C-alpha cells in the first residue's frame, strides 16, 4: 500500500469518526446512554469476530486482563461524551472531544513525572482559550455538558496512553475484539441496573446503532491499524485533526446546525492547538530553516541592490 493510499484511508476513518457525533445524537433520541453503548459495541464485536474468527483463540491471560481494563476506560470515554452531548451541540462536541490530542502529552508527563515541553504547554494554553471562546466568552463557567465532554477527552487520552504502553504485551487483534465485547457486556450491566434497555424502535435509530458499530467502531479501528503501517505519525496526526471539521459538516447536513461567529473563532483556536501538538520538532525546524534561508536570500539581494546604487 502506498503512503498516498494509506492517507486517503485515514481520511475515510476520520470521516467515520466525525459522523459518530450525529449518529450518537440520533441514537439518544430513543435509547439511553449505556443502552446505546452496549448495542454499538455488540455490533462492532460481532462484525469483527466474524471477520477474524480464526485468531480469536490466540490470546493469553495478559491479553484478556488488559482487554478488560481498557474496556472500562473506553466505556468511560463514551459515557462522558454521550452525557455531554445531551446539552451540547454536535459541532461543539466534536471540537471539545478533539482536545484528546492536547491531553495526551499532559497525561504522559504526569505518568513519567516530568514537565511537558514548551510545545505541549503552548498548545494547552491555546486550547484553553479556544474552549473559553467556543463555549461562550460571556461566562467564565462551563456548562455541565461541556465539562462532561472535556472529561471524556481526558479519559480518551488516558486510554491512548495506556494502550501505547501495553500494546506490545498483547495479541493485537484478539485484544481489540475482546475489548469491544467487554465494553458491550459492562455497558449492558449498567443499562440493566440504571436504565430500561431495549432494542431500537425506529429505522433512524437502527441506522444510528449500525453506523456506530460497523463504520465508527469495527471498520474505523481496523482500517486505522492497517493504514498507519504505511504512513508517518505526522501525517496520521494531522489527518485526525480533521475529525471536528467532519463533525460540523455532518451536523449541518443532518440538522442544518450552524455555529455562531464566536464559536467559529473558538473552534479555529482549538484546531490550531491540535496542529501545534501534532507538528513534530523536525517539521518545525524544517519550516524555520526554510524561512531563515528565504530571509538570507532577501538580505543578499537587497545588499547587492544597495551596492549597485
pLDDT tens, 208-255?
A: 999 999 988 888 877 876 776 677 655 666 677 777 778 877 777 777
What was the pLDDT predicted at 309? 56
pTM higher than the cut 0.85: no
Number of other CB atoms surrounding residue 203 within 10 Å: 8
In the block, cell 488488559 appears at: 66
Cα separation, 216 vs 14, in Å, equals 9
DSSP 44-92: HHHHHHHHTGGGTT---HHHHHHHHHHHHHHHHHHHHHHHHTTTS-HHH
What was the pLDDT predicted at 303? 60
299-308 burial by CB neighbour count: b if 16+ within 10 A, else e? eeeeeeeeee
Cα separation, 282 vs 44, in Å, equals 38
Q: What's the length of the chain? A: 309
Average pLDDT, rounded, for the chain: 78
Distances (CA, A) of 49 to 153, 164, 177, 181, 235: 28, 23, 7, 9, 30
Amino acid at each position: 500500500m502506498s503512503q498516498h493510499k494509506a492517507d486517503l484511508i485515514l481520511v475515510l476513518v476520520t470521516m467515520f469518526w466525525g459522523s459518530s457525533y450525529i449518529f450518537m445524537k440520533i441514537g439518544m433520541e430513543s435509547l439511553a446512554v449505556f443502552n446505546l453503548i452496549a448495542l454499538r459495541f455488540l455490533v462492532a464485536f460481532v462484525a469483527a469476530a466474524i471477520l477474524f474468527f480464526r485468531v480469536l483463540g490466540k490470546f493469553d491471560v495478559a491479553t484478556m486482563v488488559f482487554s478488560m481494563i481498557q474496556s472500562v476506560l473506553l466505556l468511560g470515554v463514551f459515557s462522558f461524551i454521550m452525557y455531554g452531548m445531551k446539552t451540547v451541540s454536535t459541532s461543539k462536541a466534536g471540537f471539545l472531544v478533539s482536545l484528546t490530542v492536547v491531553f495526551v502529552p499532559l497525561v504522559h508527563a504526569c505518568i513519567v513525572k516530568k514537565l511537558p515541553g514548551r510545545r505541549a504547554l503552548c498548545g494547552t494554553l491555546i486550547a484553553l482559550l479556544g474552549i473559553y471562546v467556543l463555549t461562550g466568552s460571556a461566562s467564565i463557567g462551563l456548562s455541565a455538558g461541556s465539562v462532561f465532554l472535556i472529561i471524556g477527552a481526558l479519559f480518551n487520552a488516558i486510554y491512548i496512553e495506556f494502550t501505547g504502553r501495553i500494546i506490545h504485551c498483547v495479541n493485537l487483534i484478539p485484544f481489540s475484539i475482546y475489548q469491544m465485547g467487554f465494553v458491550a457486556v459492562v455497558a449492558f450491566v449498567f443499562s440493566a441496573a440504571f436504565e430500561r434497555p431495549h432494542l431500537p424502535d425506529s429505522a433512524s435509530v437502527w441506522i444510528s446503532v449500525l453506523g456506530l458499530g460497523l463504520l465508527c467502531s469495527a471498520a474505523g479501528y481496523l482500517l486505522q491499524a492497517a493504514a498507519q503501517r504505511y504512513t508517518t505519525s505526522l501525517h496520521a496526526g494531522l489527518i485526525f485533526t480533521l475529525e471536528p471539521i467532519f463533525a460540523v459538516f455532518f451536523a449541518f447536513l443532518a440538522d442544518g446546525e450552524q455555529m455562531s461567529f464566536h464559536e467559529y473563532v473558538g473552534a479555529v483556536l482549538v484546531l490550531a492547538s491540535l496542529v501545534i501538538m501534532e507538528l513534530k520538532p523536525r517539521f518545525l525546524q524544517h519550516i524555520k530553516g526554510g524561512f531563515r534561508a528565504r530571509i538570507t536570500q532577501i538580505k543578499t539581494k537587497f545588499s547587492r541592490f544597495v551596492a549597485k546604487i
